[in-house]
Amino acid sequence: MDPIRIAVVGMGKIARDQHLPAIAGDTAFSLAATVSPHDKGIDGVPHLESLEDLLAKGPAVDAVALCTPPQVRYDLAKMALTRGVHVFLEKPPGATLSEVDALTERARRAGASLFAAWHSRFAAGVAPARAWLADRHVTSVAIVWREDVRVWHPGQAWIWEPGGLGVFDPGINALSIATHILPRPFFLRRGVLQRPENRSAPIAADLVFCDTAGTKITMDLDWRQTGPQSWDITVETDAGTLKLSRGGSVLTLPSGTEHSEDREYAGLYARFATLIRTGRSDVDTSPLKLVADAFLRAKREIVEPFNE
């Protein structure tokens, strides 16, 4: 079978750190081009300044991986899907829920695959955590996602703009795991969003959700964390405590701790290849819905300005 010719669009941090190595390591794909307005691309691979140019002039592609900020992703995805090109959407899949719905419908009509990728769901501990929790009674859940924005997002102006999600840019990864491993759906009851007075997006959030059986789920997000960083989900059950730490890569069960090699992006590309080969899409918007609900339902507090 011929490899899927793919272009990486948006040559920023995640494209270089994860997408290019994952594509290079997967024989189902061949890197046909890179696209980015201010980047030089990589040796030996055609580079274009815009997706429009790529689709007009070639080289021919079967698929694109959109690694841009979310605010520009809808227009790019629409352009690709309209030409029957399969689309991999980095997380979050869009800047609004309605635009993601519109893309899903467009993919269906075009007969192209649309993949809303949630990389944290492919972290090593997540599938075993989901299996372990499937027949447990959950009594409480605590999500603590505290990191230093200056370390992880230096110079990313878009992340503070409307549609950039602020602290929910990492926080949505926690929600992508929680919506995948917890046995019941959950929704927001109350919360507080803290927004620096000079920014459009929150720097911290304190949220309380509950699931459909009334189980409490708390979420503590903070971008001002210096020193040790936390990306932890702790689930109390009738059979003891499950803890996923380091963003889902380390799983601790009452029987012990498991830590496996990082395969998140290899897993995402294997899934994307399967979707394309079988003519399907995979667009789960549940993590983005919970973020949208936080913007709808939580109180606002203005906090001190944030300067890099």
Within 13 A of 216's CA, how many CA atoms are on the CB side? Answer: 6
Q: Which stretch binds ligand NAP (CB under 6 A): 20-28, 30-38, 95-103, 284-292?
A: 30-38
How many angstroms separate the CA atoms of 225 and 170, rounded?
13
CB of 48 vs ligand NAP, minimal distance in Å: 9
Nearer to ligand NAP, 233 or 235 (CB): 233
In the numeric block, which tokens belong to residue 87?
Answer: 């689309």
How many angstroms separate the CA atoms of 158 and 13, rounded?
13
CB of 176 vs ligand NAP, minimal distance in Å: 11
Nearer to ligand NAP, 99 or 235 (CB): 99
Decide: helix, strand or coil at residue 183.
Answer: coil
229 touches ligand NAP (CB under 6 A): no
Contact 38, 10 (CB under 8 A): no
* Active site residues per annotation: 91
Give φ, ψ of 303 to 5 degrees: -120, 180
Contact 162, 210 (CB under 8 A): no
Nearer to ligand NAP, 36 or 237 (CB): 36
CB-CB neighbours of 22 under 10 Å? 21
- Taking residues 103 to 142 in sequence order and writing x for each that binds ligand NAP by CB under 6 A, - otherwise, the string is ----------------x-----------------------
Selected binder of ligand NAP within 28, 72, 127, 210 (CB under 6 A) = 72
CB of 173 vs ligand NAP, minimal distance in Å: 7
As a 3-state breakdown, the chain gives helix, strand, coil percent values, each rounded to 5, of 35, 30, 35
- Distances in Å between the Cα of 151 and the Cα atoms of 30, 155, 209, 231 are 32, 10, 29, 15
- Taking residues 166 to 205 in sequence order and writing x for each that binds ligand NAP by CB under 6 A, - otherwise, the string is ---x------------------------------------
Q: Which stretch binds ligand NAP (CB under 6 A): 35-43, 193-201, 208-216, 268-276?
A: 35-43
Within 13 A of 276's CA, how many CA atoms are on the CB side? Answer: 24
Q: Which stretch binds ligand NAP (CB under 6 A): 33-41, 192-200, 246-254, 292-300?
A: 33-41
Selected binder of ligand NAP within 21, 37, 84, 162 (CB under 6 A) = 37
Nearer to ligand NAP, 9 or 235 (CB): 9
Selected binder of ligand NAP within 3, 30, 39, 293 (CB under 6 A) = 39
- Distances in Å between the Cα of 48 and the Cα atoms of 8, 9, 38, 71 are 10, 9, 10, 20
CA nearest neighbour of 114 among 159, 149, 73: 73
Question: Site residues for ligand NAP, window 275-304 (CB under 6 A)?
Answer: none
Selected binder of ligand NAP within 61, 67, 129, 221 (CB under 6 A) = 67
Contact 243, 144 (CB under 8 A): no
Question: Site residues for ligand NAP, window 3-22 (CB under 6 A)?
Answer: 9-15
How many angstroms separate the CA atoms of 121 and 175, rounded?
10
Q: Which stretch binds ligand NAP (CB under 6 A): 62-70, 184-192, 199-207, 273-281?
A: 62-70
Give φ, ψ of 66 to 5 degrees: -95, 105
70 touches ligand NAP (CB under 6 A): yes
User: Interface with ligand NAP by CB under 6 A: which residues?
Assistant: 9-15, 35-39, 67-70, 72, 90-91, 119, 156, 169
